Amino acid sequence: MTSMDSPGFPAAWAERVRALLRGELTPVVPRGAATVLLLRDRPGGPQVHMLRRRVSMAFAGGAYAYPGGGVDPRDERPVRWAGPALDRWSAVLGVPERRAQAVVCAAVRETFEESGVLLAGPDDGTVVADTTGADWEADRKALVAHELGFADFLARRELALRSDLLAPWARWITPEFEERRYDTWFFLARLPEGQRTLDVSAEADRTVWLRPADGIGGQERGEMVMLPPTVSMLRDLLPYGSADEALAAAEGRDMAPVVPLGTVDADGAVRLTVPGLPRLDRVIAEGDR
């Protein structure tokens, strides 16, 4: 058997898949996470904001992704809330109300931490217009360092979290063979008027705005490394000619979790397979030639 690592996949994945299938590996419990696809309209169709994770990152190093990260226990603390009530979010996300609030708060908080964009406003119908000042940056850094809780940040600035600016899009859970697992909810959001994305994430070394088709093309040509959920999100955006069209299409989306699997072919090739999405299946390590 020959073994060749597929671009974008950790070298250890192939053996971890085999170990899992042999019953020698106990899956890690996934950590909750939230990710936001920020959209803006440009001639030729909507663009999405993406970050390239630093190669030094333990998970998905070098891969392009969207602003997001893990749910913090403090995200469950009550905040001033605008938009659909928590019972509605609970039903849509398929989790208890307290957990639903934490996921939505994490989505808004992580977007601010990683891009400087804040989906919050002084009242239920407005959103802050500019977050580029030194005082905003000090608060953003304090959030990243876990020196400031998101609820305290919003309360001090007398802001309401605008949950109505988020549209639930998908939910993916990291494969059972991965050492770092995440149960991730993906959301869409339009870039608020007056705000702009900033190159502020310590976890990223590049940021881009691009059309979904261009991102897919870059991935297919090997110019951009992306994990299957990232590619899937881009493909799902292809039919829409504007951010409003995509946001409207979020209503009624299937939020049942997608869980990729590790499989081994008869010739020993190790594959990542995505149930229901065969075009995303990829070889992790080749088998006998």
Cβ atoms of residues 160 and 154 within 8 Å: yes
Q: What is the CA radius of gyration of the chain?
A: 19
Q: Which pLDDT belongs to residue 200?
A: 67
Q: Percent of the chain scored above 70 by pLDDT? A: 93
Nearest to 73 by CA among 45, 98, 94, 41: 98
Tell me what pLDDT residue 56 has.
Answer: 52
10 pLDDT exceeds 80? Answer: no
Q: Would you state the pLDDT for residue 6?
A: 44
Map out the domains of the chain with their CATH numbers. Answer: 28-256 (3.90.79.10)
Q: How confident is the model at residue 276 (pLDDT cuts 50, 70, 90)?
A: confident
> Residue 7: what pLDDT?
47
Integer angstrom CA distances of residue 247 from 17, 42, 254: 37, 16, 14
Q: Give the model confidence (pLDDT) of 69-101 as tens digits.
A: 999 999 999 999 999 999 999 999 999 999 999
DSSP 7: T
Q: Are 79 and 154 in contact (CB under 8 A)?
A: yes
Are 162 and 121 a contacting pair, CB within 8 Å?
A: yes
| Burial environment of residue 227 by CB neighbours within 10 A (0 to 12, 13 to 18, 19 or more) | buried
- What pLDDT score does 1 carry? 27
pLDDT at 54 over 70: no
Confidence of residue 158 (pLDDT cuts 50, 70, 90): very high
What are the pLDDT digits (tens) for 241-254?
Answer: 999 999 999 998 99
Mean pLDDT (the chain, rounded): 90
Q: Are 167 and 188 in contact (CB under 8 A)?
A: yes
Model pLDDT for residues 11-53, shown as the tens digit of each residue? 788 999 999 999 999 999 999 999 999 999 999 899 999 999 7
Q: Which helix (H) or strand (E) holds 282?
A: strand 282-285
Helix (H, G, I), strand (E, B), or coil: what is residue 211?
coil
